[in-house]
Amino acid sequence: MRVAVIGNGIQANMGVRYLNRMFGDKIQLYRIGPEDRGGLPVVGESTIEITARFLEECMGLTEYLRDHHYPKYALTYYFKIRPDDPSDRTYSVHCNERAPRDCRKVPGWSGPMDHPPSWQLNREVFDRDIRRMNASVDAIQCLDGMVTEVEIQPGGKHRLSVMMTSGAATTLEVDWVLDVSGRHRLLARQFDLTVRPDAPRDVFWFRVDGFDRSLLKDLEAWGPEPAGPGETYHYDRYYSTHHFMCRGGWIWMIPMKGESGMDRMSIGFSYMPELAGVQIRNMEDFLRFADGSHTVIADLVRSGQVDDTNLMRRYPYTATRFYSPDRWAIIGDAAYSPDPLFSNGLAFGSIQWEQIGAMLSRDLEGSLSAEYVKALSDALSGPVNASQKAITTWYPTMHDPWISAIRLNWIEIAYFYLFLPMVVNECHFREDRLGLFSLLADKQQANAFDLSADLLEARQSIGDFQPEHFLYIGKEKVNLRAMEIVSDIRELYAQGAEGGKLRNAYARMILDRVFARQE
């Protein structure tokens, strides 16, 4: 079987390595893409447990990640108590403080835990290294060029026209076409599959070197505490993905391991211009906005050297379908450009590669059906669309610390008790478990994170925020069984039900705190 992977970015090279490790010489892989990105920006360095599991267990990169990239201990969110006061640095801080037990182990790791939950990737380093790994494998043929035309034939035997970087033109006949061309979206454009949300947003981002990391501590944090006596786990705020919530948007900060040994940070601002009341075009615009919202970020940026800047307008989109029984698929940015609030872009791609591996396995056996292909496509669209709808709905109240804290904790409970254990237990491609994955469908999750009337009433009754208004649950919302392989699917239903009870109990405790204080 001959499989063409169109693209040379992180998703394409992750997929090529995964498929080669899975199938060996049973399939001939062609990775087609230019070595030079041609000025296209690199986006995304933060991973979550789903991606880390794929990188380590499915791609065999545990020791590589240990040696070349930073650990990530949590997603940390900063909700400013007085968002309209630039000089105030008081925040309600929330994070997921502890990794699930029985996670993969990292030999030789000397951090505060025997394994970090996930990793912060320096993309220039990771992309370069994974390309080199693939180039050394005989069953992977790396073609330096651009696909100019794709002729899809029903049932396979597709024809690709390729313009090589050398100037030579060539054609290639393959059984499967996997479009991982990024925002070029070759097949999505060809079949008119792209849709954009009704609430567009923009993003501006850059990298900064040599900054003073101690400035990140220059704030008053209501939230996670250092490890107590006898506690083996210590939450290190620096080694997390930082999210500073703003009016109409949010700012990310991702620490990375620079090759020179100097600290490196990816910083970006995702926002809805009409809600944020700004248009960010350059560093001056960004620093002006940060001075008026999160001065701790402005101070940190000014303490270092800005390396590059990038911006995209109306960046989110998704495709109406991802796979076809005619043996083609669109993966990663070629299929969707999600809001990166929860670092789930690479996670969705990891899920896709396992689905594609399952389809190729059935095709090699002669048992691939159109029904199975559609079921996998539908299974993926559920969490992609539901998660993006939940994030989009959040934007109008991102600056509200109380509402935002509740939304965040509800979403993270759903992740640890529902989504993560389903992926770990292969519900996204096992035919006997796909029905469970349908619980993540867009229609069922559309309003799952809207605040109830009693919570909205409580919000209206709050005057000046005090620490007791915020219930911090860092360790409590992490499902310790999320990474366990179960033999009985009823265990997954039980975990989901447990998460639902935790969510309801959390909401009730929040209400009790507000109304008890008023009595």
How many domains are contained in the chain?
Answer: 3
Is residue 205 located within the same domain as residue 352? no
Which DSSP string corresponds to 107-126?
A: TT--SSSSS-SEEE--HHHH
Residue 390 in domain: yes
Q: Are 243 and 407 in contact, with CB atoms under 8 Å apart?
A: no
How many C-beta neighbours within 10 Å does residue 13 have?
A: 28
Residue 209 in domain: yes
Is residue 171 located within the same domain as residue 241? no
Residue 65 in domain: no
Contacts of 94 (CB under 8 A, 6+ apart): 76, 77, 79, 223, 405, 408, 409, 472, 473, 474
Sign of CA dihedral 475, 480, 482, 483: positive
Specify the pLDDT at position 29. 97
Specify the pLDDT at position 105. 73
Q: Are 41 and 311 in contact, with CB atoms under 8 Å apart?
A: no
Specify the pLDDT at position 100. 66
Residue 7 in domain: yes
Is residue 18 located within the same domain as residue 165? yes
Residue 442 in domain: yes
Is residue 391 located within the same domain as residue 461? yes
pLDDT in tens, 452-483: 889 999 999 998 999 989 999 988 899 989 99
Is residue 461 located within the same domain as residue 449? yes
Residue 66 in domain: no
Host domain of residue 508 = 383-519
Is residue 453 located within the same domain as residue 503? yes
Indicate which CATH number applies to the domain containing 132.
Answer: 3.50.50.60
Domain boundary among 301, 335, 368: 368
Report CA dihedral (61, 66, 67, 68) to the nearest 10 degrees.
80
Is residue 272 located within the same domain as residue 237? yes
Helix and strand numbers (H, E) in the chain are: 16, 22
Is residue 499 located within the same domain as residue 513? yes
Is residue 187 located within the same domain as residue 214? no
pTM, entire model: 0.95
pLDDT in tens, 433-458: 998 888 777 555 556 788 888 999 99
Q: Are 436 and 427 in contact, with CB atoms under 8 Å apart?
A: yes
Q: Residue-wise over 381-420: b if at least 16 C-beta within 10 A, else e?
A: bbbbbbbbbbbbebbebbbbbbbbbbbbbbbbbbbbbbbb
pLDDT in tens, 309-330: 999 999 999 999 999 999 999 9
Is residue 249 located within the same domain as residue 304? yes
Indicate which CATH number applies to the domain containing 99.
Answer: 3.30.9
Specify the pLDDT at position 20. 97
Residue 517 in domain: yes
Q: pLDDT below 70 — which residues of the chain?
A: 37-41, 43-44, 99-104, 226-228, 230-235, 442-447, 517-519
Residue 52 in domain: no
Is residue 215 located within the same domain as residue 189? no
Is residue 405 located within the same domain as residue 356? no
